[in-house]
Amino acid sequence: MRKLLIALGLTSALLAFAGTSADAPKPSASTAISSNRAVHERWMTEGEKRYRANCSRCHQPPHKFPPGVMAMAVRHMRVRAMLTDEDTKYVLYYMTH
Amino acid sequence: MQKVFPIILCLSLACLAQQDVTPPPLTSDAKPVPVLSGYAAFVPTWDGGSPTLVSIISPVLLVPLSSNLVFESRGAFEGDFQRRNGTSGDFTGAIQKSLDYAEIDYIGNPFVTITAGRFLTPFNLFNERFYPNWIRNTQTDPLILPIGTGSDDGIMLRGAAPLSPKVNFNYAAYFSTLSTADYFQSERHAGIRLGAFLPRERLEFGISAQHQLQDSRLTRYGLHLEWQPPQLPLDIRAEAALSHQEGNGFWLEGAYRLMGARQAVLRRIQLVGRTQLFQIGHIPGTNPDVPFVDTQRTEFGVNYYLNDGWKALASYGRTFTAAGDSNIWTVGMTYRFVFPLGPRP
């Protein structure tokens, strides 16, 4: 049991801090969004695809909620429904635009 | 069980090595706000002729504590009101209160979330994902649900990562402690769930293992599968649970939404069928919540989605056991609600 706890602790410490937030993509300025229509469209398409692939697996696809609610719901689903980091970003982008 | 953690470590490190996955060039600047969500359900059930008025209110509280820290909790107030004399008399019963989870999630990096507190036991999928009445396609609990599920107090590592554009890997590993405190009852467990999701096929499958570190120190295994064929409005879900002492069983469910119907009113209908089998274990009574005789049950139902929040439902099923066969009927409504508690942008 002690080995189990040590392994769990070490694994959590190693993995939690191995990839820090410095690796995460930096939010772009909102002006970049409007200036890059093609990229925006591509991300909307990819976001919708991932939304349909992930959200409707468990429940009926919900309507869009206000952005703050959507940001919270997506974070909740990341944990509950095991969405990948990439999926959460795409889905949130799609659901808030 | 102790051998699985090095495996997780290796797999997770492999995921970390994939840091070159192209990050989204655009991100939403939406800031999360506290949310009160949840559902209410009223599902009268007639099992073997005895009616039970199942009434549930289950609030979910989500609070963002920082950019990578979240508090989430779900409670339930459930009243299972039954006739005083079985099939006659007035309905009576107490309101049961429970705390399903109250946990802090630390999103350490893209591939690891550390969860501490009281959490839903990640054994198979139903307990974590399909349990709420507004989500489940068939309202009665699967016969194998009491095996390995419920809530545990402890710590958990979980996460998901793309192994390739075609495969996402996910895992949950946990350790829980014994607790007999009110609303925080927990057993001492060590367990793991590993899964793979194929986004293009919309197919997810995986395995679970759990070792009980108290009492009879039994070990349970689980298998889960979920498939939504991309070309069909069809949900296929299946789970199996294996426990030498408690019993073995599986359930298989299909739900077809009439999305191809011409009339809008018909497109709101979902037809559901589920069959399940349970064989008792070698030590009857180990788990008092599973059937005490070998049981087979098949159910058919219909769900009607009135709108985003409301769902009406009805189902009929037949239970076959050596002790006698019986019918099980359900009819009812569920309602899912979402209220922001923070300022609206």
pLDDT of residue A24: 40
What is the number of domains present in chain B? 1
- Range B4-14 average pLDDT: 52
Taking 70 as the threshold, does the pLDDT of residue B22 lie above it?
Answer: no
Q: Which residues of B touch A15 (CB under 8 A)?
A: 9, 12-13, 16, 108-109, 111-112, 157, 159
ipTM for this model: 0.85
Range of the domain at B297: 34-336
**Displacement of CA B244 from its chain's centroid (Å):** 23
pLDDT of residue A61: 72
> Using CA atoms, how far apart are residues A11 and B173, in angstroms rounded to an integer?
10
- Range B179-196 average pLDDT: 96
Q: Is residue B13 part of a domain?
A: no
Find the helix packing angle between B4-16 and A2-18, rounded to 10°.
10
Higher pLDDT, residue A27 or B77: B77
Q: Is residue B124 part of a domain?
A: yes
Chain B nearest C-alpha distance from A58 (Å): 7
Predicted confidence (pLDDT) per residue in A49-63, tens digit = 999 889 888 887 777
CATH number (domain holding residue B235): 2.40.160.10
Nearest by CB: A19 against B70, B110, B114? B110
- Range B139-153 average pLDDT: 96
Taking 60 as the threshold, does the pLDDT of residue B214 lie above it?
Answer: yes
**Among A28, A77, A84, A97, which would you mutate to test the B interface (most chain B Cβ atoms within 10 Å of its Cβ)?**
A84
Q: Is residue B12 part of a domain?
A: no
Q: Is residue B11 part of a domain?
A: no
Whether residue B229 lies within 8 A of chain A, CB to CB, comes out as no
pLDDT of residue B280: 95
Q: Is residue B238 part of a domain?
A: yes
Give the chain A residue whose CA is nearest to the CA of B233: A56
**pTM recorded for the entire structure:** 0.86
Taking 70 as the threshold, does the pLDDT of residue A5 lie above it?
Answer: no
